[in-house]
Amino acid sequence: VLRVYKAAVQQTLEVLFLPEGREFLTSTDAVSRDSADRTIVAWDFQSAAKISNQIFHERYTCPSLTLHPKESVFVAQTNGNYMALFSAQRPYRINKKKRYEGHKVEGFAVGCEFSPDGTLLVTGSSDGKVFFYNYHTSRSIRTLSAHKEACVRAIFHPVLPSLLATCDWAGEIKIWQ
């Protein structure tokens, strides 16, 4: 063990290293009735100090974080049935003009990911569907009925970007082209 970082007593849901690796983000389940001001925490990798815990101010947990492959932004999947876009540079501001809506999370740890070229954002949905969003417009451009159970992950193949893997809550995995 090289370093230990302690968020608090809540569960850590996700870890995301930012470009260059000097900082990283964690997602926790620290929510109250009115706010979730510690849901996403930014950390300094070298000192283990918290840089910011005031990134996301809504009352939803964020089970998944994903970094854009070409731009300095990241997306947080929220349990509020939308994905929020943030700057991946200090002060990590939310883009209030872009929200990716239409899919359902409903308490599942649904993951999200950008396509290798950064033009698409894909996510599963608690109703078993996979949603494809245009990154620039934030509009849903395609929906795929993928599973009978909640689709908790959709991920592009790293070498063959025309392939997509999905998996559901019951353990079924499918490869799509």
12-176 maps to which CATH number?
2.130.10.10
At 146 the pLDDT is: 96
Average pLDDT of the residues in 99-108 = 94
At 97 the pLDDT is: 93
User: By three-state DSSP, how is residue 166 classified?
Assistant: strand
Strands (DSSP E) along the chain, which ranges? 12-17, 23-28, 40-44, 50-52, 64-67, 73-77, 82-87, 94-101, 112-114, 120-124, 129-134, 140-145, 151-156, 164-168, 173-176
The answer to whether the Cα torsion of 165, 168, 174, 177 is positive or negative is negative
| Residue 11's pLDDT band (cuts 50, 70, 90) | confident
| Beta partners for residue 86, in sequence order | 74, 94
Q: What is the pLDDT of residues 12-68, one digit of tens each?
A: 889 999 998 999 999 887 766 665 556 888 999 998 888 888 788 788 888 999 999
Write down the domain spans for the chain: 12-176
Q: What is the pLDDT of residues 114-153, one digit of tens each?
A: 999 999 999 999 999 999 999 999 999 999 999 999 999 9
At 168 the pLDDT is: 96
